[in-house]
Amino acid sequence: MARKLMKGNKAVIMGAILADCRAYFGYPITPASEIAEAAADYFPRLGRTFLQAESEVAAINMVYGAAATGVRAMTASSGPGISLKQEGISYSAGAELPIVVVDIMRGGPGLGNIAPEQGDYFQVVKGGGHGNYRNIVLSPNCAQEMCDLTILAFELADKYRNPAVILADGYIGQMMEPVDLSIREIWKPEKPWAVDGTSRTQGNLVSSIHLSAEELEVHVEHLFKKYQTVEANEVRYEEYRTEDADVILIGYGVVSRIVLSAVDAARKKGVRVGMIRPITLWPFPTEIIRKRAESVEEFVVAELSTGQLIEDVRLAVEGRKPVRLFRRTGGMVPSAEEIVNILEVREGVA
Amino acid sequence: MDMVVKEKAKSILDQYKYKPGPDKESTHYCPGCGHGNVHKMIGEAVDELGVAERAVLMSPVGCSVFAYYYFNMGHIQVAHGRAPAAATGVKRSQPHAIVMSYQGDGDLAAIGGNNILQAANRGENMTVFFINNAIYGMTGGQMAPTTLLGQRTSTTPRGRTRANEGFPIRVCELLASLEAPVYLERVALIDPKTTAKARKAIKKAIQMQVEGRGFSLVEILSPCPTGWKLSPVDSREWIAKNMLPVFPLGVYRDRSKEELPPNEEPKIETVAEALGIETGETATIRKSSAPLPETVRMKVAGFGGQGILFLGEVLAEAGMQAGHRVTWLPSYGPEMRGGTANCHVVISAERIGSPTVTLPNVLVAMNRPSYERFVDDVVDNGMLLYDSSLIEGVPVPERLRSYAIPATQIADSIGNTRVANVVMLGAYLGITGIFTREQALKALRLHIRRPQLLELNEKALDAGMKAASPKK
Ligand SMILES: Cc1ncc(C[n+]2csc(CCOP(=O)(O)OP(=O)(O)O)c2C)c(N)n1
């Protein structure tokens, strides 16, 4: 065991190394570049592959190729690059390849800026690429989770043969915190379906094409059932001081850190407030939100986007209780005081 | 097309198990199409080289999207144009595999133009078969980057013009401008003689990979009777008459005779070694040594070049070494280049919520603009540390506990202006004692990039500790 102070971005690579990720393919972009830089430093020393690709399109397709051979492989980027990776993510979902993608969100749309935002929620959580597929989406809120959830992402990707995405923001990537590192048991399945250039896998096929309508429907249904299993088994979330809460704040990533401070500050002022933090954004923690909707007066969704996360909260609440949006964008990150203030104004903010 | 094939290659399947429908023996290609011929030659070459078990074929998007029906090899079907990128992923992960990228002209020279260029330029040890039929076959005969001037396609109904579409791309010539490729040849399926050359080239291109030489590509001028709306016989004549003048046959690169550099086995570290888990300098993980009176919410600010982010990092590290919880958050990107830099440090006994510090209870100001920008944000009775060698004659608010440290002057007297930040670290340590001198030194050791500077930093730390005395 070792405790080290490091950026969240570097912690991603620590997790990838511990998870026996064998190949990293990437393209530089702020605020995600430290991930590629850490991979460039560590992977070759460990006899693993690091390659700076010619574009994000190339990088994700390199990951596709590597994952098709049965090794654990990953890439990382920020919004503009994630847009380009959608092709390969859709192909990976279609071909049922376990891949790991990291998105350190910055401001958008377009070139936007490099400050933290959460505007990629729809693109990552709801799809982004073409066709009927889902990404498993994990949302760390500290450097330790950048490491641990990266390990989990590899395990879930393999377990379900599906893309898993770490969705974090510029602050979670750039922030330094202590990270405890230890060599741990990593679950790794056999991959008899892979194509690794040996007699054992000769004749295997990795592909996403199903030309006949009948065949493709069978395949899409198979994926759909798989996604239902994921929804049943893999929901993860954190609750904080919700037992007696009148108001529940919901946020992920850096917002959940600020919300945590806001909850404590508001409690000191006598406002009974709690927090639900989704750790898996897909599958979404619908059940717990629905359950809490029975007892709370309202939900406040805090996000660095103009109403993306709130759609999933509304679907969970199903109109039973008011759901309010608190948003900042452009790289403006709210202070805890700002959130406490909006709790005191119970109505009128939308 | 008449070819002298003695028997069916063993790498070609008898029954096409992946092909849907009842007919598992005939191919999906049109009569007279060149793809089938090239498939056979690849099968034969793989047989002759004895690499079928190691072979991985990348099927592209185009008429040969179903190339995987026919071969007893490993198969990976990929996105349009991306075969060279995906093949890179395969080869880098399984260096023993014999990786073959099979691509049409739309796939390779249009949508995947950069991917082939970059894979060739990296000298990926792979083999590319490039079917140049001057048209998009699969989507119904649209223009390709290799379509000839004047050639009619469904998207150049009056013929390709240089004014609107430009000239056909010559891939072998283009790649021959790069250093890395080891073998580039253009061949054609016209008659038995050119076909025999094609067969030889295909085998050689795989052989090059088996020998570990690097990137090979064979461009095959190949008939598309359906797309060209010609008979199979006329199609071959069309290649000879119209394609050869634009796409001259021949060898564009051949490094098959060059001596290979010796293989060097790099030293591989273990995970524990690389991450410093057992051997490296690691923190003792323990409960906080001295309980913190209150959570420290600190802002460190100054101009770029003063080592502001470094000072924040070392403060956070020392806090961690003392067993506290810490966060460090930089202002990053262009903000850093704009001349001023600041970072937020939180040191706490409790789980840390927000890592952003809007209302600090400690401000370390290293220059005047930072002082002016942040001093009013500091909470009442908060602590103010400022570099009094650079910030002079400013009104210091009575409501703050302020410490004027001539950090730059002290640093200069030690011999290096740049350690003013560490003087400040020493001052903060001297005033608060929330971590020990040893912990601060360890933090410095862990974060200083050049070990020869450690001694100087130690001096600066001690000088800072000494200078720490309340001003008022
Ligand atoms: C991203 C994307 N764009 C377009 C297509 C449609 N498409 C399929 S095959 C093809 C052209 C293939 O032509 P070529 O590479 O010359 O191969 P050929 O069919 O002639 O063998 C196109 C444009 C696609 N599948 N994917």
Read off φ and ψ for residue B296, nearest 5 degrees: -90, 120
Helices (H), B240-384: 244-246, 271-275, 308-321, 334-337, 368-374
- Is the bond leading into A109 cis (omega within 30 degrees of zero)? yes
Quick check: B331 pLDDT over 90?
Answer: no
What average pLDDT does the structure give for chain A? 96
Digit-coded pLDDT (tens) for B295-318:
999 999 999 889 999 999 999 999
| Separation of CA A140 from chain center | 7
Residue type, A95: A
Residue-wise DSSP of A72-128: EEEEEE-HHHHHHHHHHHHHHHHTT---EEEEEE-B-STT-BSS---TTHHHHHS-S
Digit-coded pLDDT (tens) for A15-65:
999 999 999 999 999 999 999 999 999 999 999 999 999 999 999 999 999
> Would you say B248 and B186 are in contact if contact means Cβ atoms under 8 Å apart?
yes
Contacts A335 to B, Cβ<8 Å: 354, 356, 358-359
Which A residues in the span 117-136 are in contact with B, Cβ-Cβ below 8 Å? none
Query: Do the Cβ atoms of A3 and B320 come within 8 Å?
Result: yes
Q: Which whole number is the average pLDDT over B87-105? A: 98
Query: Do the Cβ atoms of B82 and A58 come within 8 Å?
Result: yes
Residue-wise DSSP of B256-276: TTSPPPPPP------HHHHHT
CA angle A176, A241, B323 (to 5 degrees): 35
Quick check: B288 pLDDT over 90?
Answer: no
Q: Which whole number is the average pLDDT over B455-463? A: 97
Q: Which whole number is the average pLDDT over B185-202? A: 98
Task: Give the C-alpha distances (Å, rounded to integers) separating B13 from A203, A337, B19, B25, B60.
Answer: 10, 70, 11, 9, 19
Query: Do the Cβ atoms of A203 and B272 come within 8 Å?
Result: no
Q: Which whole number is the average pLDDT over A189-200? A: 98
Query: Do the Cβ atoms of B79 and A5 come within 8 Å?
Result: no
Q: Decide the pairing of beta strands A205-206 and B74-77.
A: parallel
Digit-coded pLDDT (tens) for A279-336:
999 999 999 999 999 999 999 999 999 999 999 999 999 999 999 999 999 999 999 9
Q: B439 Cβ partners below 8 Å, 6+ apart? A: B318, B321, B322
d(CA A66, CA A46): 17
Q: Which whole number is the average pLDDT over A157-168? A: 98
Q: Is the CB of B439 under 6 A from ligand 1?
A: no
Quick check: A241 pLDDT over 70?
Answer: yes
Quick check: B1 pLDDT over 50?
Answer: no
Q: Specify the pLDDT at position A334.
A: 94
Which domains does chain B carry?
Answer: 35-254 (3.40.50.970), 271-467 (3.40.920.10)
Please give the share of chain B, as a percent, with pLDDT higher than 90: 88
Read off φ and ψ for residue A196, nearest 5 degrees: -115, 15
Q: Is the CB of B146 under 6 A from ligand 1?
A: no
| Separation of CA B180 from chain center | 19
For residue B4, with 0-12 CB atoms within 10 Å meaning exposed, 13-18 middle and 19 or more buried, which class applies?
A: exposed
Interface test with B, best of A69, A179, A240, A267 (most B CBs within 10 A): A69
What average pLDDT does the structure give for chain B? 93
- Considering the entire predicted model, what is its pTM? 0.95
Q: Specify the pLDDT at position B222.
A: 98
Four-residue CA torsion sign, A224, A251, A342, B343? negative
Task: Give the C-alpha distances (Å, rounded to integers) separating B280 from A3, A181, A184, B272, B454.
Answer: 11, 12, 18, 9, 18
d(CA B174, CA B186): 12
Residue B375: both structure tokens together: 């001093």
Digit-coded pLDDT (tens) for A94-148:
999 999 999 999 999 999 999 999 999 999 999 899 999 999 999 999 999 999 9
d(CA A100, CA A88): 12
Residue B35: both structure tokens together: 């793809």
Instruction: Return the higher-pLDDT residue of B5 and A169.
Output: A169
Q: Specify the pLDDT at position B2.
A: 46
Digit-coded pLDDT (tens) for A53-102:
999 999 999 999 999 999 999 999 999 999 999 999 999 999 999 999 99
Please give the share of chain A, as a percent, with pLDDT higher than 70: 99
Q: Specify the pLDDT at position B140.
A: 94
Q: Is the CB of B104 under 6 A from ligand 1?
A: yes
Q: Which whole number is the average pLDDT over B447-469? A: 93
B472 band by pLDDT with thresholds 50, 70 and 90:
very low
Which domains does chain A carry?
Answer: 3-233 (3.40.50.970), 238-345 (3.40.50.920)
B123 band by pLDDT with thresholds 50, 70 and 90:
very high
Query: Longest Cα pair distance anywhere in chain A, in angstroms?
Result: 69
Q: Specify the pLDDT at position B263.
A: 84
Contacts B283 to A, Cβ<8 Å: 2-4, 178
Quick check: A348 pLDDT over 50?
Answer: no
Quick check: B243 pLDDT over 50?
Answer: yes
Q: Specify the pLDDT at position A346.
A: 60
d(CA B314, CA B322): 12
